Amino acid sequence: MAPLAPIFRTAYWVVFFGISLYALALIALVNPWLQRQVLYAHKIRSPSWWFDINKPEQFGFAKNQVTPFNFTTPDHETIYAWHVMPLGLYAKHESEILQQPSGCAEDITNTKAFKLLRDDPEARLIINFHGNAGTVAQGWRTDSYRALSDGSTSSIHILAIDYRGFGLSTGFPTEEGIISDGIAAVDWAMKIAKVPSDRIVILGQSLGTAVTAGVVNHFAERGTEFAGVVLVAGFTDLPSLVTDYSIAGWIPVLSPLKPYPRLQKFFTSYIVDRWPSATRLSNFVRVSKRVRLFIIHSKDDYEIPWYHSEGLFAAAANATTDGGIDSALLEETKTMSTIDMGDGAFISTWKAAGSNKIIREEIVAYGHHSRVLTYAPISLAALKAFDLDDGEAVPL
């Protein structure tokens, strides 16, 4: 047994070092500035280290199909954005579009792409709010724009933005600031591009679902309603998320403290940007006269557990009825309207009697956390929101 002693000593010190490092990291994250650096990961800009995001053709787009440009927020931050033309529309005007300057537009209103968006009464716009880290060109994001705009219809444009502090946008990210960026993007679409709200779908993924909830709640309070709202891989609120969230799927945040709920609660009390999406979504549904809400999550999402979308669905469904709904009755009613899609996937549709509020939850079997953005259910949700489906296969 004696030869094993050094192994046990080594294991002891490895465990001790790991616990100490974890404790020090938690203590450090109490600092708001450092906490936001970790939460938003906005300084991680891959693949823009190797590619120029002002040259979208490097990401597989046709020449000048994407117009990079900037707009300014009310608090004077400069927000970087992409306007992605639908490929079918691009094909019809390719020769003229190719003659225009490439790169970040000094004045996007002078571009052919912008005029095609502004002047077409059939044009539709998806405003895309991405997750944390990177830029508008990060990971699967560029593929998702193509999936959304390159389908059978040639009328769906994409507006994707980098929040303050992300990519080439100025400033430093905070909850209030990022929501302001989202509001400014919608204002740009409605006031500058002249796209009415009933031809706009707001789509968010991961952190972007929280941004979306904040933005649509803001506009609902002012009586503005959109064609639809799509939430992909969302979460109910940040304190609830970090109790079982793992960064990149393998670095735990507060889950090791589950046996110590008081300690877990102590650290969550220091979260500065809390992103109460379920609450904001409830208010959005409650005050709106018309709702087309799509909640989509992958069963194999290793970053944000899919049951967070269950919580968002329950919060939204509760808000369709004065006084809310008993949880048992909600579950029973939901079960009756659920379609089993196999492999653990399902579609549930909720519509309160006498209302024009429809909530659809779709849990897909595959797609993980980000790749799911490129999958058909996301594009289908947008088509349904724009009333571009036949309305017969699976009722809203």
Tell me the mean pLDDT in the region 13-36: 65
Give the SS3 label for residue 64: coil
Tokens of 204: 């968010």
Q: What is this structure's pTM?
A: 0.90
Give the SS3 label for residue 35: helix
Q: From CA 122, how far away is CA 25, in angstroms rounded?
A: 52
Residue 151: band (very low, low, confident or very high) from pLDDT cuts 50, 70, 90: low
- 181: Cβ contacts below 8 Å, ≥ 6 apart: 73, 77, 79, 161, 163, 164, 169
- 68: Cβ contacts below 8 Å, ≥ 6 apart: 53, 54, 56, 80, 81, 82, 103, 104, 105
- 126: pLDDT strictly greater than 50: yes
Residue 150: band (very low, low, confident or very high) from pLDDT cuts 50, 70, 90: confident
- 153: pLDDT strictly greater than 80: no
Query: Quick one: pLDDT at residue 28?
Result: 59
Tell me the mean pLDDT in the region 43-71: 85
Residue 68: band (very low, low, confident or very high) from pLDDT cuts 50, 70, 90: very high
Element (H, E) at 6: helix 5-28
Tokens of 95: 């020769």
Residue 355: band (very low, low, confident or very high) from pLDDT cuts 50, 70, 90: confident
Scan for tokens 């735990």, then name that residue: 252
Q: Are 288 and 221 in contact (CB under 8 A)?
A: no
- 280: pLDDT strictly greater than 90: yes
C-alpha distance from residue 278 to each of 218, 246, 308 (Å): 14, 21, 9
Residue 151 CB coordination number (10 Å): 18
Tokens of 26: 């938690």
Query: Quick one: pLDDT at residue 269?
Result: 77
- 233: Cβ contacts below 8 Å, ≥ 6 apart: 131, 205, 206, 209, 296, 297, 298, 301, 303, 304, 309, 369, 370, 372
Q: Provide the 8-state DSSP code for 225.
A: -
Q: What single letter denotes the amino acid at residue 235?
A: F
Query: Quick one: pLDDT at residue 308?
Result: 94
**Rg for the chain (alpha carbons), in Å?**
22
Residue 118: band (very low, low, confident or very high) from pLDDT cuts 50, 70, 90: very high
Q: Are 200 and 124 in contact (CB under 8 A)?
A: yes
Element (H, E) at 203: strand 200-205
Tokens of 194: 């002249």
CA-nearest of 315, 304, 140, 136 to 234 is 304
Tell me the mean pLDDT in the region 267-274: 82
Percent of the chain with pLDDT over 90: 64
Tell me the mean pLDDT in the region 126-142: 93
Q: From CA 42, how far away is CA 54, in angstroms rounded?
A: 18
Q: From CA 124, how far away is CA 335, in angstroms rounded?
A: 34
Beta strands 345-351 and 124-129 are unpaired
Residue 345 CB coordination number (10 Å): 16
Q: What is the pLDDT of residues 360-394, one digit of tens each?
A: 999 999 999 999 999 999 999 999 999 876 554 44
C-alpha distance from residue 81 to each of 69, 72, 127, 310, 340 (Å): 5, 11, 10, 31, 39
Residue 149: band (very low, low, confident or very high) from pLDDT cuts 50, 70, 90: confident
What share of residues in the chain are helix, strand, coil (percent, to 5)? 45, 20, 40
- Phi/psi for 17 (5° steps) reads -65, -40
Q: What is the pLDDT of residues 201-252, one digit of tens each?
A: 999 999 999 999 999 999 999 999 999 999 999 999 999 888 876 666 666 6
Q: Among 3.40.50.1820, 3.40.50.1110, 3.30.750.24, 3.30.470.20, what is the CATH number of 47-237+267-385?
A: 3.40.50.1820
Tokens of 281: 């979504």
Query: Quick one: pLDDT at residue 393?
Result: 45
- 8: pLDDT strictly greater than 90: no
Query: Quick one: pLDDT at residue 180?
Result: 97
C-alpha distance from residue 366 to each of 145, 246, 305, 375 (Å): 19, 19, 13, 9
- 10: pLDDT strictly greater than 70: no
Q: Provide the 8-state DSSP code for 245.
A: -
Query: Quick one: pLDDT at residue 1?
Result: 45
Residue 136: band (very low, low, confident or very high) from pLDDT cuts 50, 70, 90: very high
Q: From CA 157, how far away is CA 126, in angstroms rounded?
A: 6
CA-nearest of 270, 257, 207 to 33 is 270
Q: Which residue has the higher pLDDT, 382 or 355?
A: 382
Scan for tokens 């779908």, then name that residue: 201
Residue 251 CB coordination number (10 Å): 9
Mean pLDDT of the chain: 87
Query: Quick one: pLDDT at residue 84?
Result: 97
Is the backbone peptide bond immediately before 259 cis, with ω within 30 degrees of 0?
Answer: no
